[in-house]
Amino acid sequence: MGGKKTAVGTYRLEDQVGHLLRRAHQRATAIFLERLNGARVTPTQFAALAKLADEGELSQNHLGRLTAMDPATIQGVTRRLKVRGLVTGRADPKDGRRTLLRLSAKGARLAKSVIPQGFGVSEGVLEPLSKAEQKQLLRLLKRLT
């Protein structure tokens, strides 16, 4: 990764993986917001809705792990989904300290309408790449996570 010689050597921000991943994330978020504008959900809320639709009832902690969100983030996400009436919670009968979450009827309807749009988001993000490059990128990203 060459570059113009500077006081700190040949370090170029534009060639660094963290910078490039952040830029790709910004692109993915912009495409998500454009395609799902009417749904009024954030990418993290979408992830929680999709995983609850897929798995059914989950503890908040388990939902956070499955969606790669830290405890504070998943708590905020689920709180906002509850306020909108999209998710309901109940105490786990086996462990009263734990909350079990599930989609409400309203949340299930929203999930059913927005989850298919997720394919379009992925297609939009990957559109500049050939089909082979898309598969390779996804395979490599999975190795990094």
Which tens digit of pLDDT belongs to each residue from 66-106? 999 999 999 999 999 999 999 999 999 998 888 899 999 99
65/70 Cα distance (integer angstroms): 7
Q: Where are the domains of the chain?
A: 41-120
Which tens digit of pLDDT belongs to each residue from 110-142? 999 999 999 999 999 999 999 999 999 999 999
For tokens 């749009």, name the residue: 117
Cα 22 from chain centroid (whole Å) = 14
Contacts of 63 (CB under 8 A, 6+ apart): 48, 51, 52, 69, 74, 78, 101
88/7 Cα distance (integer angstroms): 56
Domain 41-120, architecture per CATH: Orthogonal Bundle (1.10)
Select the more confidently predicted residue: 89 or 5: 89
pLDDT of residue 6: 60
How many CB atoms within 10 Å of residue 13?
A: 9
